[in-house]
A and B are shown apart, each in its own frame.
Chain A
C-alpha cells in the first residue's frame, strides 16, 4: 500500500494545492460484491498545473476525479478543494462549491440541448444568479474561436465544437480547478488537438488548474504532469511527458492491469 503523498506538482511556497486527496478510499457495493475503486490514494493537484491521469480501464481514474470534484462521496479519507473539506459538506453546500469553484468537461453530453452555445457557456453563473464577467467571457470565447457559432444550439455544432464550448463553460466561471474526464474521447485527432491546445492555453495564459483523465498518450503529452493509476492506486508519475514516453510507460502497466 502506497502511503506516500505523491506530489502532482512542485508546490509553490505561497499557495497550497488547488485540490488535494488524503488517503482517499472509495469502495462500491458491500460484502462479497464490494469493489475497491480507490485504495488509500493521496494526491495534490497544484495550482496552475495541467495534470493528466492515465491507467487501464477500471483502474479508478473516473472515480478519483468524481470524488475530488464533489460529485461522489468518499468511503474514507479526505478531499479538499482549496481549504474546504468536501467530505463534511451537505448536498447544497457541495453543489454551490461545484458551481463556484469547479469546472467540468465530460466525455459527452456536456451541454444543455435547449440552450445556445453562449447560454451554455454562462450556465453556471446564470444558475448562481451571478453577474457574468463579460470581458473574461469574451476572451474565453475568442480563445475557443467559436464567436460566429454562439447563437447555435448544441445539435448544430460538431462534436469538437461542442467539447470546446464545454471547455469554455468550465473556464468562464473562473473555477479554482477544472476536471475533464476523457474530453477528447469522442473526437478525432484534429478536433481533439483543438480542445487540448485550448486547455493548454488556459493553463499557460490564465494560470488555470486542470485535471484530465485520458487514455490517449498524445493527449497526456499536453499536460505538465501525468499520474498513472492501476487497481485504485497511484503507481507512477511522469513530469513533462511526451507521447512516446507515456506510451512506453503504459505498456508496462497494461500487462499488470490485465492480470487483476
Chain B
C-alpha cells in the first residue's frame, strides 16, 4: 500500500508541486514572522543590556519624573551626586567604579544638514570612559574625547552623518546649536546596532555641562567587583554603604530589567506581527487543506479501484496519511528556507519606511523550526484525513461507474453554525460600538475574530447563490463561456469558498485599516481646524524641547503678532504620573480654541488650571477644586477653573508655564504657536522665521496645513506598513487561486476536451477559466469588504474618545480594492487558463 501511495505521488507531479507550494508558503510565512520577531527582540535586548559591570546604581524612581507619554523625555534626567561615586568606590569588594552620564537630547546634524534621529528614537548624549569594563562603548577609530570641544560618535551615526575624524560636527543640545571636533568613533556593545538611536560622547565635564546643567552628577554608577566577589555580595555591600539614597542592582538584574522593559515595550510589535503570523498560518493552512482535499477527491476513482481490488479502508486511509506526511515534511523543510527570505523581506520593508531595524544576524530559534515543521506536517495530514476518510467510504463498485463522486456532507450544519457565529460576531462588534471605550474595543476585537471565522464556516453555504448573483452579467457579456464559468464556480461551493477565504480575510483587514486610517486623518484634520487658531507651528524634528531663545528669536521676526510657547512637563498630579501642559496664559487663547463645558480660560494666569472632562472624571476633580502638581524640583498649587471637551491630542492638565517655572521647571518649549499679523504674507513670513532660526537646525516652521499634513502622513505610513504585511496574505491568496484553478482544470480535463471537440476555441476556454477566477475573487472581496466596513465602523465608534471623532469611509478606495481583487483573480487565472487552452483535445477526451 505504501508503495502504491508513493507511485501515485510521483505520477501526479503537477499536483504534487501544487500542494507542495501551498505548504511551503504557509510554513514560510509563519516561520518568517517568527524569525523577524525574534531578531527584533534579540537586537533590542542586546542593545540595552550591553553593560558588563557587576553592580549598577541608579537614581530612585520618581513618578513625577516619568510623567506620561512623550513628556517622559522632556524632564531633566534623574541624577546621582558625585560623592555617591566616591562612596561606591570606597566599598569593600569594589575593584573600580565609574560614573555614567547618559541622557536623551543631543542631536547630530549631518554634513548635508539633515538631522539624525527624527524617527523618535532616543538621541543620546553621553560621557566617555576609557575603561572598557565600565562602559559598553568600544572604540573603533581615533580616541576618546578628553577635552571640551571634542566628541566621539557611534559608528552608525558617524557613517550616516558623513563625518570623518577631524571634522567639525554640528550638534544640537538642549541649550542650542554647538560644534565639536570628531576625535573618535565607537561601536556600541557587540553588534554596534542602536536600532535608530544615536550617541554623541563627550568628556565627562562637557557631558555634565550639556546634559545636567553643569552639576557634577551622574545618571548611573557602575561598579566592577574584585576577584572572587560575587555580584550579589557586592550589591549587598554597596547597599549597606549608600542605604536607600539610590537603587542598587546586580549587573544581571539590571540586564534582566532592561530586557523585560524592552520586551514589554516591544510587546505591541510582537502582538502585531503574531497577528499577521496567525493570519498567515490560517490562510496557509487553508490552501493546504483545500489543495489536498481536491487531490484526494480527484483520485477517488483510483482509490475506489484499489478498494475493489481488495484494499481495506484502513489501508486506503493509512496510505493517504503516509503520503500527506511525506509531502508535508518536504514542504515544511522548504518552507523554513522561504521563511528566512520572508524575514529578510520584512526587514527591508521596515527599513524602507524609515524604521531602523537591525540588518543581518537573523535569529532562527529551535522553536521556530519545530513550529514550522509541526505546522507543515500536521496541517497537511489533517487536510488529507477528512477526504481520505470520505474516499475510503466510497463503495468499491462505484469505481466502475463513470461519475464517482465522493459523498459530501450536507452544508446545513455549516450554514447554521457559521451563521450563528457570524451573527454573534457582528453583534459583538455592534455592542462594542455602543459601549465604546476600552471595554467596547475588546468586544469589537472578539467580534471581528468570531465574524471572520463565522463567515469562513458559512461561506460554502452561501457561495453558490452569491456567485450566481455576482456573475449575473457574464452570460450576457460572454455568452455560453460566461455561464459555464459561473456554473463552474458554483458547482463546488466548498472549493470556491475555501479559495476565496484568503482574499476575504485579507480584504476585510485591509479595508478596515484603510477606513480607520482615513477616519483618523479626517478626525485629526477637523480637530486641528477647530482647535488650532495659530497660523504657524514651530517644533523640533527630534521631538525634543528646544531652548527659550527660539521663542525670543521668533518674536522679533517682523510680521509675527504673537508667539505662544507650550511646554510639556512630566509631573505627578493627584498621585498619578501625568503630562502637564504649561502655556503662556496671555497668548494661549488666541492660538487654541477649547470648548468649555464649565468655567473658562479666564483664571489661567492667576493660579487656575484647565482640565479636560475625561481626565477630570478620572482624577475626581471639578471646578474650584485645589490640585497640586509635583515636579522633580518642587510643587505648585492650582485651582481648577475650567473644564473642556477633550479633542484628540488636546487634552490633559493645562496651567500657566510661569507657575511651573517657579517650581523649578527648566524644560524648554516643545512647540510654539505663532499668530501672524493680519497683513503679513504667509509664505514670506514662514521664510523669514526659518531664516531667523538658522542656528537651530532641528527646529522647523510649519504652517497649519503643513502641520496637519505631517500628522496625517504618519498615519499613512503606518497604514502602508500594515497593508504591505497584509499583502503577503494576499500573495498567498493569489497562489491559492492558482492552485484551485489548475487543479480544477485537471479535474475537468475531459469536459474541456469535450467543449473543444464540439467547437469551443482556445480563447473561449481561457476566457472561461479567467471568468471563474474573477467571480471567485470578487466573491471573496465582497464578503471581505462588508466585514471590513462593519469592523472599521465599530472600531471608530469605540475610539471616539481617543480623538477618532468622525467616520470617513473612502468608498472610492474600497471600490478600487474590489477592482484590484478582481485583477488579482484574473492574474492568478492566467497560467491555469493558458494550460487549459493548450490541452490536446483528443488526450483530454480520453483522460481517465
Contacts and interface: CB of A to CB of B under 8 A. Distances in A.
Contacts of A106: 754, 757, 845
B723 to A, nearest CB: 37
A96 B756 CA distance: 10
Interface stretch (B244-252, B556-564, B758-766, B801-809): B758-766
B761 A92 contact: yes
19 contacts: A71-B757, A71-B845, A95-B756, A110-B754, A112-B755, A114-B484, A114-B487, A114-B488, A114-B490, A115-B487, A123-B755, A124-B759, A126-B479, A126-B480, A127-B479, A127-B480, A128-B759, A129-B479, A155-B403
In this complex, the member of A98, A104, A127 whose beta carbon has the largest number of chain B beta carbons within 10 angstroms is A127
Nearest to A169: B758
A91 B480 contact: no
B215 interface: no
A123 B842 CA distance: 19
A235 to B, nearest CB: 25
Given A98-B759, A127-B479, 20 more contacts: A95-B760, A96-B761, A99-B758, A99-B760, A104-B757, A106-B754, A106-B757, A106-B845, A108-B402, A109-B750, A109-B751, A110-B754, A111-B754, A112-B755, A113-B751, A114-B487, A115-B487, A126-B479, A127-B760, A169-B758
Contacts of A138: none
A184 B490 CA distance: 32
In this complex, the member of A66, A72, A104, A126 whose beta carbon has the largest number of chain B beta carbons within 10 angstroms is A126
Interface string A62-104: 0000100001100000000000000000011001101110001
Given A108-B402, A109-B402, A114-B487, A123 B845 contact: no
Given A109-B845, A127-B764, A155-B403, A104 B758 contact: yes
Nearest to B838: A91
In this complex, the member of B484, B755, B764 whose beta carbon has the largest number of chain A beta carbons within 10 angstroms is B484
B842 A96 contact: no
Interface string B739-762: 000000000001100111111111
B274 interface: no
Nearest to A162: B402
A127 B481 CA distance: 7
Contacts of A155: 403
Interface string B329-350: 0000000000000000000000
B491 interface: yes
B673 to A, nearest CB: 69
Closest 9 interchain pairs by CB? A99-B759, A114-B487, A126-B480, A124-B758, A124-B759, A127-B760, A109-B750, A98-B759, A95-B761
Nearest to A67: B842
Contacts of B754: 106, 109-112
Interface string B464-485: 0000000000000001110010
A127 B487 contact: no
A92 B479 CA distance: 18
Contacts of A100: 759
Given A71-B841, A109-B845, A123 B480 contact: yes
Contacts of A129: 479
A96 to B, nearest CB: 7
Nearest to B486: A114
A110 B845 CA distance: 9
B66 to A, nearest CB: 68
Nearest to A93: B761
Contacts of A91: 762
Nearest to A186: B402
B301 to A, nearest CB: 13
Interface in A113-170: 113-115, 123-124, 126-129, 155, 169
Contacts of A115: 484, 487
A72 B842 CA distance: 7
Nearest to B837: A91
A96 B488 CA distance: 24
Contacts of B758: 98-99, 104, 123-124, 127, 169
Contact of B762 (A92, A113, A169): A92
A95 B484 CA distance: 19
Nearest to B762: A91
Contacts of B403: 113, 155
Interface in B487-528: 487-488, 490-491
B528 to A, nearest CB: 58
Contacts of B841: 71
A60 to B, nearest CB: 14
Nearest to A122: B480
A110 B763 CA distance: 21
A66 B479 contact: no
B60 to A, nearest CB: 78
Nearest to A96: B759
Contact of A98 (B479, B490, B757): B757
A123 B484 CA distance: 11
A95 B840 CA distance: 12
Contacts of A109: 402, 750-751, 754, 845
A127 B755 contact: yes
A71 B842 contact: yes
Interface in B804-848: 841-842, 845
A129 B842 CA distance: 24
B479 to A, nearest CB: 5
B124 to A, nearest CB: 69
Nearest to A72: B842
Contacts of B479: 126-127, 129
Contacts of A112: 484, 751, 754-755
Nearest to A66: B842
A259 B402 CA distance: 33
A130 to B, nearest CB: 10
Contacts of B402: 108-109
B840 to A, nearest CB: 9
B839 to A, nearest CB: 12
Nearest to A104: B757
Contacts of A126: 479-480
Contacts of B751: 109, 112-113
A242 B448 CA distance: 75
A109 B755 CA distance: 11
A100 B758 CA distance: 9
Contacts of B484: 112, 114-115
